[in-house]
Amino acid sequence: MQRFNTEPKVYEVGGVKLGGQPGDYPTVCCFSIFQESDKVFDKGSRRKGFNEGRAEELLKTADKLWKETGVPVMADIVASPGEKFKKYVDFVTSVSDMPFCVDAIMMPAKLEGAAYCAEQGLLDRMFYNSITVWEEDLLTEVKELAQIGVKHVLLVAFDQNDQTPNGRITGAQKLLDAIEKAGAEFETIIVDTTTLNAPANALCGLSNQLIKEKWGFATASAPSNGSYMELQRLKDMVGFKGWAGFDAAMEALSAFYYNDLIFTGPMAGASRVVSAVALADAFLATSVFNETKALPKDPNHPLLKLFPEFAEQLKVAWDKPSDLEKM
């Protein structure tokens, strides 16, 4: 794996570090909750509220997986049109200490959610999802974010008109220009190069590689977009378990390929996804060790947490290839 000449930035959101050189820190899994089809809503009853017991179970399961594997989790709190973030933010923060983002289709809703988090003193653990290339009034949005005091932002650099890696660089530059023009400064900038197509998610990895080399920003994508687009087709072909393998592979490949954070779909899939990402992170860190002789900086990294004996053997047996091959 490439070690970047431009030293990658390391950010901290709600106590979770992300960024750095490949293999330094585990990949962050950001799971959606309260999106339109979420199982926390009984069928046809979204307006009546959500199933708090189910939502609490999802959040606590994700927290448990984080603790057991070393893969950090975050909540992508989604508000539908016409909804306010207050009830969702209040619930998530009452149940879990995990970081989270506010996510909505329309800018006013996102800004309202960010402002509520500011009122509640939650800006250290919240990131804004997101500032997008297609927003028509970027300056207004960025200025309001600065006035609110938002510290952590996600920039979505995907441009429908140019889906190449270079197009994502151009998109990121457009967003950075808007931030500079607005006179805004943010502690954390994560660039999301997402796509909706499963194999095209490889272009996200290539784009992220360019972004890290050019600016050193933390990078992200949404592999779940690609896998969930194929849900029905693959269920018809190979059943749910077959699709679940497809999804786990998507998340793991993305974790290996220059993503500091990945949007991993509904929190109900946390057990499947976190285990896949944990292995991908250990795989990546071992590959990096081969080149650098350096183990992860995070003491809770999956390589060190799940495979401590192997990690110790790497340190002491690297000069003995015949012994290493026997592990």
Q: What is the pTM of this model?
A: 0.94
Q: Determine how many CB atoms are found less than 10 A away from the CB of residue 148.
A: 18
Cis preceding-peptide flag for 130 (omega within 30 of 0): yes
- The pLDDT profile of the chain, 327 residues, written as one tens digit per residue, is 678 999 999 999 999 999 999 999 999 999 999 998 888 998 756 777 899 999 999 999 999 999 999 999 999 999 988 889 999 999 999 999 999 999 999 999 999 999 999 999 999 999 999 999 999 999 999 999 999 999 999 999 987 788 889 999 999 999 999 999 999 999 999 999 988 889 999 999 999 999 999 999 999 999 999 999 999 999 999 999 999 999 999 999 999 999 999 999 999 999 999 999 999 999 999 999 999 999 999 999 999 999 999 999 998 876 565 555 555
Q: Which residues, at least 6 apart from 183, have a Cβ–Cβ distance to it below 8 Å?
A: 143, 146
C-alpha closest to that of 211 among 178, 179, 169, 175? 169
Short-list 133, 125, 266, 143, CA closest to 192? 133
Residue 113 neighbours by CB under 8 Å, 6+ apart: 77, 79, 84, 85, 89, 102, 104
- In the structure encoding, which two tokens stand for residue 298, read together? 């995070």
Closest CA to 57 of 271, 209, 312: 271
240 Ramachandran zone, left/alpha/beta (phi>0; psi -120 to 50): alpha
Instruction: Write down the pLDDT at residue 44.
Output: 59
The pair phi, psi for residue 29, each rounded to 5°, is -100, 120
Angstrom distance (rounded) from CA 139 to CA 141: 5
Q: Please compute Rg for the chain using Cα positions.
A: 20
Distance of CA 107 to the CA centre of its chain: 20
pLDDT of amino acid 159: 79
Contacts of 98 by beta carbon, 8 Å cutoff, 6+ apart: 14, 59, 62, 63, 66, 72, 73, 74, 75, 92, 125
What is the reported pLDDT for 180?
97
Q: What angle do CA 32, 38, 39 make, to 5 degrees?
A: 125
Q: What is the pLDDT of residues 205-251, one digit of tens each?
A: 999 999 999 999 999 999 999 999 999 999 999 999 999 999 999 99
Our separate counts of H helices and E strands in the chain read 12, 10
What is the DSSP track for 244-300? HHHHHHHHHHHHHSS-SEEEEEEGGGHHHHHHHHHHHHHHHHHHHHHHH----SSTT
Domains and CATH numbers, the chain: 10-325 (3.20.20.20)
Report d(CA 216, CA 8) in Å as an integer. Answer: 4
Cα–Cα distance measured from residue 259 to residue 209, given in angstroms and rounded to the nearest whole number: 9
